[in-house]
């Protein structure tokens, strides 16, 4: 089998209501799939969500054009060789969109390999468990969304089967966020896991202040309390609170996680295969985590990460997004992943990622 072509498509659509976390506001959804075609008629699919200034996906298009020369004519099963061929830090950079595009291409290679072998990515990686607990991510700041609406959102999550929920903090003064955490804990009761996520909004001393003041609400983890590169800050926060620190969604490659781990910066790694360097590099990070007895709880697309978090021994929990974050999400991927009444998600057992993307649905949103 040989790779014959690499294709990139770019789509964008507005959110009905902009959503904000501790640092950023998101008005639109961008979706940039890459397709790797072969001489045997099998196509692998991965995707990124990066946005270029002026036109969504422009940087991704240029980078795919660059990496294509390393892929076309190659055997997709030589995925490690292909990863190294794309990883040219002196030329394309060691972080940012270049590594995110490598990630998308690597995911597409694994999807292709799964389809070629008739095995799910989950099984190819070891298939440690067939179901994994999930938390519903949300609790964003939105215009017109007060405490009552926040509590209602969390109650709806429980109706969907959630046994764990996540909310955003960091965009308002600390006393206001403490009240938001209190209201959510009251809404979900004592038996549901409550995760809080600052998205790098705090300095270390602010994060320590916040963490100590919400410990009474039995917080499951405190995610991204400080800036991604502030390893010492992460360690200071981790040492100052009983709440486990989780981080890593903005960390790149095994080398970034090596440095984070060496600083004792986190008890839980939120490795994102769409950022870190793909599934190949995710598994390198998982090996580092195993060597240090650290848990893995991936950030991002559940359609990809269900395979990864359930494949490794240290897999802790899956991040799960509702259609409230993006109304097209519930129709974009088939089959749709759902929570059961115990708050778990079953791993798809179809070849590759085990999902199909509805490109017909996306047609009106194509921008390139």
Q: What are phi and psi of 348, to 5 degrees?
A: -60, 140
45 within some domain? yes
pLDDT on residue 327: 83
Shared domain check, 112 and 129: no
pLDDT on residue 55: 57
pLDDT on residue 18: 93
How far is residue 32's CA from residue 51's CA, in Å, rounded to a whole number? 9
249-287 pLDDT, tens per residue? 999 999 999 999 999 999 999 999 999 999 999 999 999
Per-position b or e across 289-300, b if 16+ CB within 10 A of its CB = beeeebbbbbbb
364 within some domain? no
Tokens of 186: 């009251």
1-36 pLDDT, tens per residue? 999 999 999 999 999 899 999 999 999 999 999 999
pLDDT on residue 50: 56
Residue 105, domain extent? 3-118
Ranges of residues in the chain whose predicted pLDDT is under 50: 51-54
CB 252 within 8 A of CB 94: yes
pLDDT on residue 132: 98
361 within some domain? no
Any idea what the CATH number is for the domain that residue 277 is in?
3.20.20.120
Shared domain check, 145 and 111: no
18 within some domain? yes
Give how many domains the chain has, as a whole number: 2
Q: Residue 205 CB: number of other CB atoms within 10 A?
A: 13
pLDDT on residue 53: 41
299 within some domain? yes
Signed CA dihedral, 237, 291, 349, 365: sign only: positive
Looking at the chain, how many residues does it have? 368
Closest CA to 269 of 309, 325, 236, 226: 309
């Amino acid at each position: 089998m040989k790779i014959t072509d690499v294709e990139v498509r770019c789509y964008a659509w507005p959110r009905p209501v902009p959503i904000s976390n501790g640092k950023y506001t998101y008005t639109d959804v961008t979706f940039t799939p890459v397709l790797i075609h072969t001489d045997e008629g099998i196509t692998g699919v991965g995707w990124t969500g990066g946005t270029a200034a002026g036109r969504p996906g422009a940087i991704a298009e240029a980078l795919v054009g660059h990496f294509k020369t390393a892929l076309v004519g190659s055997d997709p099963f030589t995925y490690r060789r292909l990863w190294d061929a794309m990883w040219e830090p002196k030329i394309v950079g060691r972080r940012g969109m270049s590594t995110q595009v490598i990630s998308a291409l690597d995911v597409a290679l694994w999807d292709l390999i799964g389809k070629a072998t008739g095995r799910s990515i989950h099984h190819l990686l070891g298939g440690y468990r067939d179901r994994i607990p999930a938390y519903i991510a949300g609790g964003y700041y939105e215009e017109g969304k007060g405490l009552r609406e926040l509590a209602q959102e969390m109650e709806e999550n429980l109706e969907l089967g959630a046994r764990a929920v996540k909310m955003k903090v960091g965009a308002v003064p600390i006393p206001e966020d403490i009240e938001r955490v209190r209201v959510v804990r009251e809404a979900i009761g004592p038996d549901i896991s409550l995760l809080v996520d600052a998205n790098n909004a705090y300095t270390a001393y602010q994060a320590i202040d916040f963490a100590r003041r919400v410990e009474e609400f039995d917080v499951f983890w405190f995610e991204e309390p400080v800036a991604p590169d502030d390893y010492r800050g992460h360690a200071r926060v981790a040492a100052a609170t009983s709440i486990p620190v989780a981080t890593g969604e903005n960390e790149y490659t095994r080398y970034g996680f090596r440095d984070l781990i060496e600083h004792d910066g986190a008890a839980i790694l939120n490795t994102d295969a769409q950022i870190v360097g793909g599934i190949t590099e995710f598994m390198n990070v998982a090996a580092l985590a195993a060597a240090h007895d650290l848990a893995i709880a991936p950030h991002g697309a559940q359609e990809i990460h269900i395979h990864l978090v359930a494949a490794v021994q240290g897999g802790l929990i899956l991040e799960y997004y509702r259609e409230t974050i993006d109304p097209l999400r519930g129709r974009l991927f088939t089959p749709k992943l759902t929570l059961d009444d115990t708050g778990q998600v079953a791993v798809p057992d179809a070849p590759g990622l085990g999902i199909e993307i509805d490109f017909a649905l996306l047609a009106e949103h194509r921008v390139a």
